[in-house]
Structure 1
Amino acid sequence: MEILLSKSTMPIIGWIAQLLGWIMNGIYIVLDAIGIPNIGLAIIFYTIIVYMLMTPLQVKQQKMSKMMSVVQPEMQKVQKKYQGKRDQASQMKMQEETMAIYQKYGVSPTGSCLPLLIQMPLLFALYQVIYHIPGYVTKVGEMFSGLAVKLSQANFLESLTQFATDNKIAAQLSGTGEALQKGITDFLYLLKPAQWEKLADINGFSSLKTTIEQTAAQSRQVNMFAGINISESPWDVIKNGIEAGTWILVIVAVLVPVLAWFTQWLNYKLMPQQTTGNPQQDSMQGSMKMMNTIMPIFSAFMCVTFSMGIGIYWIAGAVIRCIQQVVINRKIAGMDAEELVKKSQEKQAKKRAKKGLPEKKITQQARVNVRNIQEPNRGSRNNTNDSTEYYKNATNARPDSITAKANMVRQFDEKNNKKKK
């Protein structure tokens, strides 16, 4: 089980989550101001805004992928040319020709991967804010903080720790002062309606019964979405709905994991699929296709046991990505790959001009490196041949010189060879 924290403390992701948390907090403040303080709605609007902010990265990634479709045929020719050659000279030559192709089209080998790498910490931070709402949304944190301060007193803490153990809730209920109060706040935020009732009925908390009930009512109000308390998991709602005979709630609860699966599956289907003609890369794409089939199913199973709030986030995120993908696909489809390459070449040329670099410097340097590998043996042979010719032609050398002695040895060898013949 995971230990709860009021905010993410992971490097980089924690910093990004702090920035995204301001967006979430602002959305909730607006909803509260217009009289509908609701965590479910806040999650949906928050997801929409953050994914819209990531749209330029997604467009850039698909532009690079389209340009790579123009580059790929030439890349395949180079790979085929050096197929099976593992010596250093061949590898350097292949690298030179590969870099020349990238420069020719003005693209980067990591161009299509970089936007995806940038998106990853953003997505992790997005989830962290959803999971630790009391730490990022001021009004939600304040809703539980009054009760958390009272429960942090020594005479209540032991009973609270035992309650967490009995209900299998992993919580950071150790430490003192503000750290302890934050741990209790996270603990209270994750309590389900039935657990709130159990907490109020604990004998040791009789003096806090009214405060507990008031906090539970406030929590229920902000967590109600489409008639369901999103602090509960779909599995909890299904079980309670069957027992109470409220079949509409059962249907809604079943729809959450089903929609989580379907929307993510549809999102993967809408992503452009390109075959490269390279068996190794096509095999990797086949593996990715299998993962794209398995992950939505895995998400659906996880969604059954996670809180409904997480399910809403997954569904909202997948729906937004589907809409984005349709729009981006149409936009990219209307673009000429050759024109994209031309613009990229012009952009690269301007960058090199600003830096004062000559054109094709990398290619020329690579060519020099390859030549340095290929030429040493040839140079050694040429030096040997030149030395031999020199000794042969040096007939006017001084009698006591090394050249004269070399000529004597050569003449002696020639006479012996003639006698043998």
Structure 2
Amino acid sequence: MADILLTANSVAILGPIARLLGWILDKIYLGVKTVTGIENIGISIILLTIVILGMLFPLTLKQQKFSMFSQKMQPELTAIRKKYEGKRDQQSVAAMQQETSLVYKKYGVSPAGSCVQILIQFPILLSLYQVFSRVPAYITSVRSSFDGVVNGITATEGYRGIMKSIVSSQKLSVSVDFSDKHQSVINNYIVDVLYKLPQDGWKIVYDKFPKLHSSIDSTVHSIKQYNYFLGVNISDSPMTSIKAAMANKSYLVVFVALLIPILSGLFQYLNVKMMPQPDNGSEQVATQMKTMNNILPLVSVVMTFSVPSGLGIYWATSGLVRVIQQIFINKHFEKIDIDDIIKQNELKLKKQREKMGIYENQINKAAHLNTRGIKAKADISGIDNEKIEEASSKKRDIKPGSLAAKANAVQEFNERNSRK
């Protein structure tokens, strides 16, 4: 049973990514058409895959670097873990984190280096599933190829009931009642239904809309041009294509449909084998990782049988491109002196720590000088206050009319005149 997926995806995260990837796919499709005159989504998917992996290559290189250096730095990380084993107080945890961070800086890698690429690839894969399932929503020229037949259908009396009967007879599941929607939404719905129809389903459209044979022929011809890759419909799963091809005795299509998931698993297996594997210091975890690396390609094969063939083409192409990338990456790392890179990172770290040390010493020195200055001012202030208090006391003890009293009066008079 096929699902009808109306228009573009609008989910918060996947929607924008799908629109971006759909826009790139649309431009590639138009570019190939302009240069070669060929309209084929399968070819555009292969080129889109190369573009995406080219953009992700810096992250791939970073991940490979992490895997390579992890084997070198694992003994140091293990020593740190043993040093603080069983210590859960705040000071010990902070010290362990700081020492671990210094080791990563020494080798010039990030602790997240092994998972960033996976976190980025996963939403891209889910978004591509949406794009390949709803191609007319993202590729303008594909959508326009349905305009003639859609306009003819909507001009036919009772077309809504007819379209419902087609959905029912072809067992296409849909959760939206389009009868109350705007005309543009209804048109999109009709496009989605027609795009998901199997080859035999168009015979029913022929029978239900006898006045539209010319438009239907034109649309079916366009679909066979752009939506089939080596005989396989990119919107159908390989399993669906195999069943249809077996019924029609199209054994070449069966072979191509089988080849898509097999190649996707094979290239993924080769890529894993060629990659340097990170060493986590545990034999048990290493065994689990080895088992997972052997199982994942098989899981990829099984999954690819049930998703749109367009996604399988992307998966197989990405595996091939990664194998090619891995060959160049391995040659690049063969020329690199790991010990020399570690020494350079150690020098950088040492300079950073020296700068931090100088800066801290300057702060401590400035704080010390400031404290001394404040203390000195406090001492001077104390002396001045004592003298003032003593002078004031003496003035209070002088008898009125005495010679001392007259001398003070003359002094105060002179001080007042001098301030003026």
Report the CA distance shift for 1:302/1:106 in structure 2 as closer, same or farther (over 3 A).
closer
Whether 1:276 aligns to 2:280 is yes
Greater gyration radius: 2
Partner of 1:193: 199
Q: 1:176 aligns with which of 182, 185, 195?
A: 182
Report the counterpart of residue 218 of structure 2 in structure 1. 214
2:72: which partner in 1? 70
- Rounded to whole Å, the distance in 2 between the matches of 1:347 and 1:17 is 42
Q: 1:201 aligns to what SS in structure 2?
A: helix
In 2: Cα distance, 1:183 partner to 1:138 partner: 16
Give the structure-2-normalised TM-score. Answer: 0.73
**2:305: which partner in 1?**
304
Superposition pairs for residues 8-407 of structure 1, below 5 Å? 8-33=9-34, 34-151=36-153, 155-171=158-174, 172=176, 174=178, 175-202=181-208, 205-278=209-282, 283=285, 285-342=286-343, 344=345, 358=356
Q: CA deviation at 1:277?
A: 1.5
> What is the CA–CA distance in structure 1 between the aligned matches of 2:8 and 2:63, rounded to whole Å?
31
1:283-328, CA deviations, whole angstroms, 9 ceiling, x for partnerless residues?
Answer: 2x54444343333323323333444333222211211122112222
Q: Which moved more, 1:54-63 or 1:251-260?
A: 251-260
Separation in structure 1 between the aligned mates of residue 242 and residue 49 of structure 2, nearest angstrom: 26
Alpha-carbon distance in structure 2 between the residues aligned to 1:361 and 1:133: 59
Letter in 2 for 1:167: Q
Q: Please say if residues 173 and 184 of structure 1, whose CA atoms lie closer than 8 Å, have aligned partners that are also in contact.
A: no
Deviation at 1:152, TM superposition (A): 5.3
Shift of 1:36: 1.0
CA distance in 2 between partners of 1:67 and 1:360 (Å): 31
The 1:348–1:110 alpha-carbon spacing in structure 2 relative to 1, beyond 3 Å, is: farther
The answer on whether the counterparts of 2:245 and 2:251 sit within 8 Å (CA) in structure 1 is yes
Looking at structure 1, the residues matched to 336 and 304 of structure 2 have their Cα atoms a distance apart, in angstroms, of: 38
Displacement after TM superposition at 1:346 (Å): 6.9
Q: Which runs of 5+ in 1 are unaligned?
A: 363-421
Deviation of residue 59 (structure 1)? 0.7
Checking the alignment, whether the CA contact within 8 Å between 1:107 and 1:345 is kept in structure 2 is no
Deviation track 1:145-191 (CA, whole Å, cap 9, x = no partner) reads 44335545782123213322332323456232323322332332222
Q: Are the aligned partners of 1:106 and 1:345 in contact in 2 as well (CA < 8 Å)? A: no
1:126 and 1:332 map into 2 onto residues whose CA distance is 32
Q: 1:122 to 1:243 in 2, by over 3 A?
A: closer
Number of aligned residue pairs: give it.
354
Paired residue secondary structure (2:65) = helix
Measured against aligned partners, the alpha-carbon deviations of 1:200-243 in whole angstroms (never above 9, x if no partner) come to 223xx334343223212211122233244444443344344444
Question: Does structure 2 retain, via aligned residues, the 8 Å contact 1:40–1:312?
Answer: yes
Task: Tell whether the 8 Å contact from 2:7 to 2:188 is kept in structure 1 after alignment.
Answer: yes
Q: Unpaired runs of 5+ in structure 2? A: 361-420
Indicate if the aligned counterparts of 1:57 and 1:116 stay in contact, CA closer than 8 A. Answer: no
Equivalent residue letter for 2:18: A
Distance 1:306 1:120 in 2: 15
Question: Could you tell me how far 1:140 is from its partner in structure 2?
Answer: 0.7
- Alpha-carbon distance between aligned partners in 1 of 2:103 and 2:359, rounded to the nearest angstrom: 13
Change (3 A) 1:226 1:339: same
Question: SS at 1:86's partner residue?
Answer: coil
* CA distance, structure 2, for counterparts of residue 331 and residue 45 of structure 1: 25
CA distance in 1, matches of 2:126, 2:263: 21
Taking a change above 3 Å as real, the CA distance of residues 155 and 244 of structure 1, as seen in their structure-2 partners, is: closer
- 8 Å CA contact 2:107, 2:341 repeated in 1: no
Instruction: Quote the offset at 1:335 in angstroms.
Output: 1.9
Q: Provide the C-alpha distance between the structure 2 equivalents of 1:360 and 1:338, rounded to a whole number of angstroms.
A: 28
Using the TM superposition, give the Cα deviation of residue 110 of structure 1 relative to its aligned residue in structure 2, in angstroms.
Answer: 2.4
Match of 1:376 in 2: none
How far apart are 1:197 and its partner, in Å?
1.9
Q: Which amino acid aligns with 1:169?
A: L
Deviations 1:321-350 (A, max 9, x none): 221122222222332223434555677789
Equivalent residues of 2:128, 2:311 under 8 A apart:
no
> For residues 37 and 114 of structure 1, what CA distance do their matches in structure 2 show?
35
Instruction: Report the CA distance shift for 1:312/1:86 in structure 2 as closer, same or farther (over 3 A).
Output: same
Let me know the Cα RMSD of the aligned residues. Answer: 3.3
| Contact map agreement 1:193 1:220 (CA 8 A) in 2 | no
In 2, Cα distance between equivalents of 1:87 and 1:118: 36
How far apart, CA to CA, are the structure 2 residues paired with 1:348 and 1:173?
64
Closer/same/farther in 2, CA of residues 301 and 358 from structure 1, 3 Å limit: same
Q: Is the 8 A contact 1:6 1:132 kept in 2?
A: yes
Are the aligned partners of 1:67 and 1:340 in contact in 2 as well (CA < 8 Å)? Answer: no
Residue 262 of structure 2 aligns to which amino acid in structure 1?
A: V
Question: Conserved in 1, the CA contact under 8 Å of 2:61 and 2:329?
Answer: yes
